[in-house]
Structure 1
Amino acid sequence: MQLQLITFVLITLYCMDYTGGQHSSSRHRHHKQISSGGLGCQQGGCLTCSDYNGCLSCKPRFFMHLERIGMKQIGVCMTSCPPGFYDIRSPERNTCTKCRSECDSCFNKNFCTRCRPGYYLHLGKCLESCPDGLMRSDIQRECVHRCPAECEACVNSELCTRCRPGLYQLQGRCHHVCPEDYEPNDRLMECSPQVHCEVGEWSEWSPCSRSGRTCGFKRGQETRTRLVLQYPSPFGRPCPEISEIKECLVKRRKCPGRGKNERRDRRNRNNRRDKASQEVLRDRKRERDRDPGERDNSDNRNKTEHRRRRDQHSENTQHSSSAQGHHD
C-alpha cells in the first residue's frame, strides 16, 4: 500500500513539474490531457487522467487500481477490485489493495477467502500444513475435518452425511445396530422410528347367541371387537387381540315359528322310517318267492357259517382257560 501511495505521489509531482516548466502553454496542454479522450481517459470511471499514466483520480463509487505494463503502472478505475485485491474505501479516494502473497482472494489484508495452490485455508489464513485433527483438501484448498471411521462423507468430525456400507445412519451418526425404539431400514440404510400398533376402544358385547340364533337354547356366547387404528412397523409392538368371546346363559324360549318347523321335521323322519320298513318287507317277500332249492342252499350256507363261528368260539375259550391255568 505504501508503494502504491509513493507511486501516486511521484505521478502527481511529475505532472506538476511538467506543467510548471511549460507555463506558457500548460493551461491549454493540461486541459487537453483531461478532455482529449486519449488512451488513459477512455474509461468512464476516470475523473482526471493522463495519456501516459491513465487515470489519476476516479469518480465516486469507483476504485483506483494500478495495473503494471512493463516498467510503468497505469491507473484504472473499476467498480469492484479484481481477484487477488481487496477494496479500501475512504472519503478522499477508494483504492484496490493487493492481498497477501499466499492468498488467491481476500476480504482484507488479514482474512483470505481462497488460497493459492500449495496453501490451505483455515480460519481466514492460508497455511502450508493443516492443524491437528484436520486434513488437506486439494480441490477446495482448505483444511477440512477428518470424518469418523464409519463415515464415507461428513460435515465435520462428528456429523456424518453418508455411512459406510452395512451401517445405518441416525442423526448424523452411523450405527451397526439401531438404538432402542428405532429399527433398520435396509432401503434407505437409516434407523427409522419404530411404529407400534394402536387399537381403539372395545365395542359393546353382542347379544347372547348360539349357531347364529338368539333363541331356542340356554347356553350361548357373547362377542365384542375393536378396530386397529395404527398397524405396527416390522419391529414394532404387535397388535393385541381385537375380538373376545365369553359364555352366557339365557332363559330358554322357543323361537318364533319353531313348532311348525319341528312338525315338518318329525313328518320327514316318519316318512323316511316308513320307506325303510317297506324296503325290509319287499326284501322278505323276494326271499320267500325265491326257488326252494336256492332257499335250502342259502339255509345250508347259513348253518355252516353258524357252526364255524361256534367252533371258533369254543376253541378260543379252551385256549384262554389253558393259559390261565399255566399262569396259576
Structure 2
Amino acid sequence: MQLQLISFVLIILNCMDYTGCQQHSSSRHRQHKQISGVSSGCQQGGCLTCSDYNGCLSCKPRFFMHLERIGMKQIGVCMTSCPPGFYGTRSPERNTCTKCRSECDSCFNKNFCTRCRPGFYLHLGKCQETCPEGLVRSDTQRECVPKCPADCESCVNSETCTRCWPGLYQLSGRCYHVCPEDYEPCDKLMQCTLQVHCEVGEWSEWSPCSRSGRTCGFKRGQETRTRQVLQYPSPFGKPCPEISEVKQCLVKRRRCPGGRRQNGRRNRNNRKDKENQEARRERKRDRERERDAGEREESDNRNKTEHRHRRGHDSEPLSHEDSLVVQ
C-alpha cells in the first residue's frame, strides 16, 4: 500500500515538471517568435526590434528610445529627437530620452533648462520662482530679464533698450523725446536717423557775355554760371544753396555778322507790319463808316414814314357836325 502511494506521488511530480517545462518552453517560443518575427518587419522605421505589446524594444543607430505612457503601460518609440520635456543621452549601447526636471518645459540636459513651465522663470539655465536682485520676471518669456529704464518698453539690459514707449524715438539702445544734435526723428520707424545735408559741386566757368540770347550788337549784357546738386538733404538737413549765379558784364560793341543786311530786312519787315496794321485799321474804319451810314439811312427812312403817316392823318375830310361847328 505504501509502495503504491509513493508511486502515485512520483507520477504526479513528473507530470507537474513536464507541464511546467512545456509551458515555459511554449512561453519562450512565443516570445522569441514575437521578437524575431517583428524585428524583420516593425511598423516604425526607427525600430530595430519590437513586440506587439511593448512596441519598440531597441532602436536603429542614431535614434532615441522614448517610452510613451498609454494608460497603465508604456510603449517604446524610436525617434530622431526627443520630444519637449525630454533630453537625449547617447551611449554605445543605447540612446535614450530622459525627462527634464519638473520645473523645466524643455532642457538641454538634467542641469540646464532652456524654457520653464508657467510659474517659473529662467536664469542661467535654472528655473526659479523668484528672480535675483536687479532682474524682473517676464511672464511672456518666462525668464528673468533686466529692469528696463523708465523710457523703455523692453530692453536687453539696464542700459540697452530694444523698444521704446510710444511717442519716443530710439537711437543706439536709448530712448529720446527729442533726437540729439545731427539726428532727426523718423516717425515711420520711431527712430532717430542721421541728418543728411545738401552737397553741391564746383561752379562752372562763366558763360560768354550775352543779351537776349545774342553775343553781339550790344554793350551791356549778362554772364551766368551753374553747379550740380550732388546730395539732396533730408527733411531736417541743411538746404541747398543757390545753384546758379548771374552778373552784369560790359563788352565792346560790335556788329553782328551780316548786321546791315539783317537790319535792313528787319526794317523792311517792320515797315510791312506797320503798313499791314494801318491797312487793317483803315478797313475797320470803312466798315464802321458804312455801318454808321446804314444806320443813318435806316433812321431817315423811319422818320419819313412817320411823317407821311402824320400828314395823311391831318388831311382827312371833316364830318358834317364838325363843319357846322367850324362855321
Superposition pairs for residues 123-134 of structure 1, below 5 Å?
123-134=124-135
C-alpha distance in structure 2 between counterparts of 1:216 and 1:57, whole Å: 111
C-alpha distance in structure 2 between counterparts of 1:191 and 1:210, whole Å: 50
Give the 3-state SS of the residue equivalent to 2:127 in structure 1.
strand
Query: Cα 1:178–1:26, aligned 2, differ >3 Å: closer, same or farther?
Result: same
* Residue in structure 2 matched with residue 60 of structure 1 by the alignment: 60
Give the 3-state SS of the residue equivalent to 1:117 in structure 2.
coil
Q: Which amino acid aligns with 1:178?
A: C
Q: Is the 8 A contact 1:64 1:75 kept in 2?
A: no
Say which of 23, 26, 30 aligns to 2:24. 26
So what's the TM-score if we normalise by structure 2? 0.60
Query: Cα 1:94–1:214, aligned 2, differ >3 Å: closer, same or farther?
Result: closer
Superposition pairs for residues 249-260 of structure 1, below 5 Å?
249-255=250-256, 256-257=259-260, 260=264
Deviation at 1:247, TM superposition (A): 3.6
Deviation at 1:143, TM superposition (A): 1.6
* Residue in structure 1 matched with residue 240 of structure 2 by the alignment: 239
* Residue in structure 2 matched with residue 221 of structure 1 by the alignment: 222
So what's the TM-score if we normalise by structure 1? 0.60
Q: Which amino acid aligns with 1:201?
A: E
Deviation at 1:125, TM superposition (A): 0.9
Residue deviations 1:184-224 (CA, integer Å, cap 9, x gap):
22343222222221223322222223455433443433221
The gaps in structure 1 that reach 5 residues or longer are 1-20, 268-328
Residue deviations 1:1-38 (CA, integer Å, cap 9, x gap):
xxxxxxxxxxxxxxxxxxxx94454333212124348x
Q: Tell me whether 1:96 sits opposite 2:103 in the alignment.
A: no
Query: Cα 1:83–1:205, aligned 2, differ >3 Å: closer, same or farther?
Result: closer
Deviation at 1:126, TM superposition (A): 0.7
C-alpha distance in structure 2 between counterparts of 1:95 and 1:214, whole Å: 97
Deviation at 1:56, TM superposition (A): 9.1
Query: Cα 1:96–1:233, aligned 2, differ >3 Å: closer, same or farther?
Result: closer
Q: Is the 8 A contact 1:145 1:157 kept in 2?
A: yes
Query: Cα 1:130–1:207, aligned 2, differ >3 Å: closer, same or farther?
Result: same
* Residue in structure 2 matched with residue 9 of structure 1 by the alignment: none
* Residue in structure 2 matched with residue 47 of structure 1 by the alignment: 49
Residue deviations 1:62-88 (CA, integer Å, cap 9, x gap):
544556788x76462432544433222
Query: Cα 1:47–1:23, aligned 2, differ >3 Å: closer, same or farther?
Result: farther
Superposition pairs for residues 84-233 of structure 1, below 5 Å?
84-210=85-211, 212-233=213-234
Q: Which amino acid aligns with 2:161?
A: C
The gaps in structure 2 that reach 5 residues or longer are 1-18, 272-327
Residue deviations 1:245-304 (CA, integer Å, cap 9, x gap):
33433222244138648988xx9xxxxxxxxxxxxxxxxxxxxxxxxxxxxxxxxxxxxx
C-alpha distance in structure 1 between counterparts of 2:232 and 2:190, whole Å: 22
Alignment RMSD (CA, Å): 3.9
Query: Cα 1:220–1:162, aligned 2, differ >3 Å: closer, same or farther?
Result: same
Deviation at 1:131, TM superposition (A): 1.7
What is the aligned length? 244
Give the 3-state SS of the residue equivalent to 1:32 in structure 2.
helix
Q: Is the 8 A contact 1:112 1:121 kept in 2?
A: yes
Q: Which amino acid aligns with 2:76?
A: V
Q: Which amino acid aligns with 2:241?
A: P
Query: Cα 1:122–1:209, aligned 2, differ >3 Å: closer, same or farther?
Result: same
C-alpha distance in structure 1 between counterparts of 2:56 and 2:221, whole Å: 111
* Residue in structure 2 matched with residue 299 of structure 1 by the alignment: none
Query: Cα 1:119–1:260, aligned 2, differ >3 Å: closer, same or farther?
Result: same
Identity of aligned residues (%): 69
* Residue in structure 1 matched with residue 277 of structure 2 by the alignment: none
